[in-house]
Structure 1
């Protein structure tokens, strides 16, 4: 079984914020396949389904970003999923808005949701899709920026990145992550 995790914060207040772009990719996959997150356990909302013939768990941790690993670890353990069979999707300040990058391993890069995941799993080896949200162009504090809504002029790029990230997840159901990564990172 594979696992696709979108990182974000629970609650309507955070729905279409930069920090919740991982949740938005899960929403896109759910919509494409007429699914709902029908289970709530281990501090997360999730569903188990088949995507392109591969058994897959789609997950939105409900722990708030900084504690994401507290949800991810018990779900992986319960379903006997190896971290290498997981993709974590999250926002990245260091990529321009709308740009996506796939990676197989690495550090947390200052992202608290990824930091929590690494700490809980005890490994940096899991697949990632980083979605660019850019950096603030003003003196706005980073926390206000990531918890803020997208600007009107960003929406087209954001929607495109959500579509491409969802496409990459679906493609990973059919091919090794390294192949998908090499294609998407061109």
Structure 2
């Protein structure tokens, strides 16, 4: 049986952080659950987890698991490692982390495999817990703050009213990129996303 993808959205728990820039990963997981008609349920790892079946009943194209971490961003590695162990996957081939990215223009999407964490505390925690940086990421651009604003305050601030329509489109596009990864493979999904951007 082919190993299923595990797709994890990063964020902070609680309504206070629900629509902040740092919770872009959570928003995509929520969109995936709603668009695929599944309900996120509490898992023993301390996360909200669901299994998604792409395709038609009885003839699924792909099955994959989605999770929204309920831990704070800087401790994302512990529940991620628990989920990787529970689903018995190889992080290098079947783990996709969705996260906000300061180094990309707002609402730009990029698929990337491996590399550094770019100062992202969630990615740093995951790399430490897994003992590797070799896992796939879906980066959601949030842009850079005003020079006078602390980046830590910026990522924890909510998306502005003017961004709401763009945010909705970005989240839907990110969810589509995830289903492309699962159904087409990482490389083809990456090429498709890049072609859409250009």
Give the TM-score band, short-chain normalised: over 0.9
Please, which of 14, 18, 21 is the counterpart of residue 11 of structure 1?
A: 14
**Could you tell which deviates more after superposition, 36-45 or 167-176?**
36-45
**Could you tell which deviates more after superposition, 93-102 or 147-156?**
147-156
- Structure 1: runs of 5+ lacking an equivalent: none
Counterpart residue number, 1:99 = 108
Counterpart residue number, 1:54 = 62
The SS at the match of 1:42 is: coil
Residue correspondences, number: 186
The SS at the match of 1:185 is: helix
In our comparison, the structure showing a higher alpha carbon Rg is 2
The SS at the match of 1:78 is: helix
Partners of 1:71 and 1:182 in 2: CA distance: 30
Is 1:81 aligned to residue 97 of structure 2? no
Residue 114 of structure 1 deviates from its aligned partner by: 0.6
Q: Is the 8 A contact 2:104 2:143 kept in 1?
A: yes
Matches within 5 A, 1:135-154: 135-154=144-163
Partners of 2:88 and 2:99 in 1: CA distance: 23
Query: Structure 1-normalised TM-score?
Result: 0.95
Aligned Cα RMSD in Å? 1.2
Partners of 1:173 and 1:100 in 2: CA distance: 17
Counterpart residue number, 2:78 = 70
Is 1:26 aligned to residue 35 of structure 2? no
Moved beyond 4 Å, runs of 4+: none
Q: Is the 8 A contact 2:33 2:50 kept in 1?
A: no
